[in-house]
Amino acid sequence: MKKRILLLIAAAAIIAVVLIARTMINQHSENLDYGFHTTVPDAEAAARTKLVQTAEQWLGCKESNGSHKEIIDLYNSHTPLAKDYTVKYEDEWCATFVSAAAIQCGFTDIIPTECGCQRQIELFKELDSWEEADDYNPLPGDVIYYCWTDTAKSGDCTGWSDHVGIVVGTSGNLIKVIEGNYNEQVAYRYISIDAAGIRGYAVPDYSQLTDE
């Protein structure tokens, strides 16, 4: 019994250390400056920033108090609905969040609306707006897709995408992302550029907007 208690105490101590370390890393990540790692035309930068700021207006919306319904309602108000499917409040809504931001901005010509991650990837491929090289360094307004089942340390992840968010900016090798349905709310994620779970990026052609 004594040995078991000691093992439980040791396990609890390890968990505490991990949680403290994770908190310190998150705090450090949050304090960095995120933005454009390279210069883009002013009009394009403005369009990219508009998408990010629109998404950030919903920061903190969550399922627990029903505030996420505003996002889903906006998505469902846009026609035609992808696959003629009306998103339900209890559905997964990460891709719905990205689509809603595009709808709010009037960017649906370059960011196809979808409520499913993998289907949205296929639509971006049709627009020739897909990038999955592991060394791609994203810009604000790019759309990042994940495959959390991918454990490869190198080589392109080709698995089925199960989550998505909007790139807020980069700082060194870190990416700041805003995501819907991140722990059932809209929140920021901080992730390394070379993280194994990154499936790829949609790179909307913002020049189409600035050329009009």
pLDDT digits (tens, 9 = 90+) for 151-162: 655 556 778 999
Question: Would you say residue 130 has pLDDT above 50?
Answer: yes
How far apart (Å, rounded) are the C-alpha atoms in residues 74 and 140? 23
Question: Does one domain contain both 184 and 95?
Answer: yes
Confidence (pLDDT) at 17: 42
* Residue of 2 and 95 predicted with greater confidence: 95
Range of the domain at 8: 1-31
In this model, does residue 25 exceed pLDDT 70?
A: no
What distance in Å separates the CA atoms of residue 162 and residue 71, rounded to the nearest whole number? 19
State both tokens at 82: 């992808």
Same structural domain, 42 and 24: no
pLDDT at 5: 64
Residues 8 and 79 in one domain: no
pLDDT in tens, 73-123: 999 999 999 989 999 999 999 999 999 999 999 999 999 999 999 999 999
In our burial notation (b when 16+ CB lie closer than 10 A, e otherwise), range 133-154 reads eeeeebbbbbbbbbbeebeeee
- pLDDT band, very low/low/confident/very high, at 35 (cuts 50, 70, 90): very high
- Residue 19 has a pLDDT of 43
Helix (H) or strand (E) holding 198: strand 198-202
According to the model, what pLDDT value does residue 4 have?
A: 65
Query: What's the pLDDT at 158?
Result: 74
Question: Are both 5 and 42 inside the same structural domain?
Answer: no
| Terminal alpha carbon distance of the chain | 74
Residues 84 and 64 in one domain: yes
Residues 43-60: pLDDT tens digits? Answer: 999 999 999 999 999 999
Number of structural domains (the chain) is 2
On whether both 22 and 84 belong to a single domain, the answer is no
In tens, the pLDDT along 182-211 reads 999 999 999 999 998 899 999 999 999 866
Cα–Cα distances (Å) from 193 to 53, 119, 164, 167, 187, in that order, read: 22, 23, 15, 11, 18
Closest CA to 175 of 16, 41, 35: 35
41 and 22 belong to one structural domain:
no
Are residue 7 and residue 109 in the same domain, yes or no?
no
Per DSSP, which regions of 44-193 are E strands?
130-131, 143-146, 163-171, 174-182, 185-192
Indicate whether 88 and 99 sit together in one domain.
yes
Kindly report the backbone phi and psi dihedral angles of residue 6, in degrees, each rounded to the nearest multiple of 5, phi listed first. Answer: -65, -40
Are 2 and 45 in a shared domain? no
Contact 113, 99 (CB under 8 A): yes
For residues 208 and 204, give the distance between their C-alpha atoms in angstroms, rounded to a whole number: 9
60 shares its domain with 130: yes
Are 67 and 145 found together in one domain? yes
Identify the pLDDT of residue 134. Answer: 80
